[in-house]
């Protein structure tokens, strides 16, 4: 049977994301062992063919490829510690969020336990796991990535190895993820304003989507400006953004929507203008965000 050739995989941590990961492996025919602190969460996966390990050591011992999806790196280290005897020689792939420093600490921990370590990140929601364009990135031991790439691609077709430095996946995860909260709070502010007029929020979704498309189209332009440190070709200037503050305040008054979250953002815009970037491209805000002591 083709399934017999598939890499046995262990998934530790069966929260929303971990369950989706285990589900994808089961669907793809991988012999899948699962373990979770709260054992009941394994039940639907066991019903689909997964094996529930009696403890974390048995879970690690069951497969050459161990995927963890716990809340933090610290949780991961703590949960795996009792399985220390089973860890040497196995490939450990973490798929939790966390800082680059925490990824480096986990790398040192893994090295100390004889584990081959790849740190990964899922850049999507659980329901997208397994889809062709779902992005996951990995960094660290390339031999682990090469050996298990086929299995890892089961989780998402856009699977990327960023480099040998273990903390790169965490760095990119956080760098890209930084856009999420401001973008969503902006959408929620707009939603509240539209609702204040008695309109359905659904009515703005198409337009908000086009707005995000426009922002997406600008990212390569801004990235080039920032990489070159040249902001002089300003299609949208810092001063233009500064002028928007009064409009936001008027709308907030009219719709009774709290826009206090915008004040620190306008503070960045003001500081850029004060630093002489008023007529420069709005990408010059990066110069204000970069603390002086961190410049080369
Ligand atoms: N959900 C998403 O949309 C999403 C998207 C991208 C990335 N992620 C990342 O994926 C990771 C998991 O997220 P999730 O959504 O699956 O979270 P979740 O539903 O809250 O599940 C957390 C998992 O971690 C386990 N856990 C936490 N602390 C533990 C500890 N000290 N000891 C043992 N087990 C512990 C939980 O066990 P119990 O079941 O026993 O509580 C559960 O299995 C996070 O780092 C998250 O940032 C999530």
Mean pLDDT in the chain?
96
Indicate whether residue 76 lines ligand 1 (CB < 6 A). no
Residue ranges per structural domain of the chain: 2-175, 179-294
Residue 38 Cα, ligand 1 centroid: separation in angstroms? Answer: 11
Give which of 42, 101, 73 is closest to 92, Cα–Cα: 73
Q: In this predicted model, what pLDDT tens digit does every residue of 171-188 receive, in sequence order?
A: 999 999 999 999 999 999
CA distance 132 to 134: 6
291, pLDDT greater than 90: no
Burial class, 46, CB count within 10 angstroms (exposed 0-12 / middle 13-18 / buried 19+): middle
Residue 258 Cα, ligand 1 centroid: separation in angstroms? Answer: 32
Of the two residues 296 and 218, the one the predictor is more confident about is 218
Indicate whether residue 16 lines ligand 1 (CB < 6 A). yes
pTM to 2 decimal places: 0.91
**What's the rounded mean pLDDT across residues 135-162?**
97
295, pLDDT greater than 70: no
Specify the CATH superfamily of domain 2-175. Answer: NAD(P)-binding Rossmann-like Domain (3.40.50.720)
CA distance 36 to 17: 12
Residue 173 vs residues 100, 103, 119, 180: alpha-carbon distances, Å: 9, 12, 11, 11
Question: Structure tokens of 270?
Answer: 């003001």
- Atom number, ligand 1, closest to the C-alpha of residue 98: 45
Q: In this predicted model, what pLDDT tens digit does every residue of 205-248 receive, in sequence order?
A: 999 999 999 999 999 999 999 999 999 999 999 999 999 999 99
**Fold agreement (2-175, 179-294):** no
Residue 168 Cα, ligand 1 centroid: separation in angstroms? Answer: 21
Q: How confident is the model at residue 1 (pLDDT cuts 50, 70, 90)?
A: very low
Indicate whether residue 37 lines ligand 1 (CB < 6 A). yes
Fold classification of 179-294 is 1.10.1040
* % the chain with pLDDT above 70: 97
Burial class, 15, CB count within 10 angstroms (exposed 0-12 / middle 13-18 / buried 19+): middle
Burial class, 219, CB count within 10 angstroms (exposed 0-12 / middle 13-18 / buried 19+): exposed
């Amino acid at each position: 049977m083709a399934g017999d050739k598939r890499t046995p995989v262990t998934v530790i941590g069966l929260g929303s994301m971990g369950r989706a990961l285990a589900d994808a492996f089961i669907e793809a025919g991988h012999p899948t062992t699962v373990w979770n602190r709260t054992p009941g969460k394994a039940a639907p996966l066991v019903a689909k063919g997964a094996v529930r390990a009696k403890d974390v050591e048995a879970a690690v011992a069951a497969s050459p490829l161990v995927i963890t999806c716990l809340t933090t790196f610290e949780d991961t280290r703590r949960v795996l510690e009792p399985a220390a005897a089973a860890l040497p020689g196995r490939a450990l792939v973490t798929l939790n969020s966390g800082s680059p420093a925490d990824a480096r600490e986990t790398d040192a921990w893994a090295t100390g336990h004889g584990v081959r370590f790849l740190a990964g990140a899922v850049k999507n929601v659980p329901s997208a796991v397994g889809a062709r364009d779902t992005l996951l990135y990995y960094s660290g031991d390339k031999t682990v990535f090469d050996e298990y790439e086929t299995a890892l691609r089961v989780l998402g077709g856009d699977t990327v190895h960023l480099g040998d430095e273990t903390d790169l996946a965490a760095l990119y995860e956080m760098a890209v993820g930084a856009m999420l909260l401001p973008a969503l709070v902006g959408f929620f502010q707009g939603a509240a304003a539209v609702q204040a007029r008695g309109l359905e929020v659904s009515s703005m979704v198409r337009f908000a989507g086009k707005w995000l498309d426009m922002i997406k189209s600008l990212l390569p332009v801004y990235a080039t400006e920032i990489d070159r440190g040249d902001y002089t070709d300003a299609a949208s200037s810092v001063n233009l953004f500064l002028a928007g503050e009064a409009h936001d305040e008027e709308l907030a008054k009219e719709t009774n929507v709290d826009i206090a979250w915008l004040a620190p953002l306008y503070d960045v815009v003001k500081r850029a203008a004060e630093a002489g970037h008023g007529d420069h491209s709005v990408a010059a805000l990066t110069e204000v965000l970069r603390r002086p002591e961190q410049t080369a």
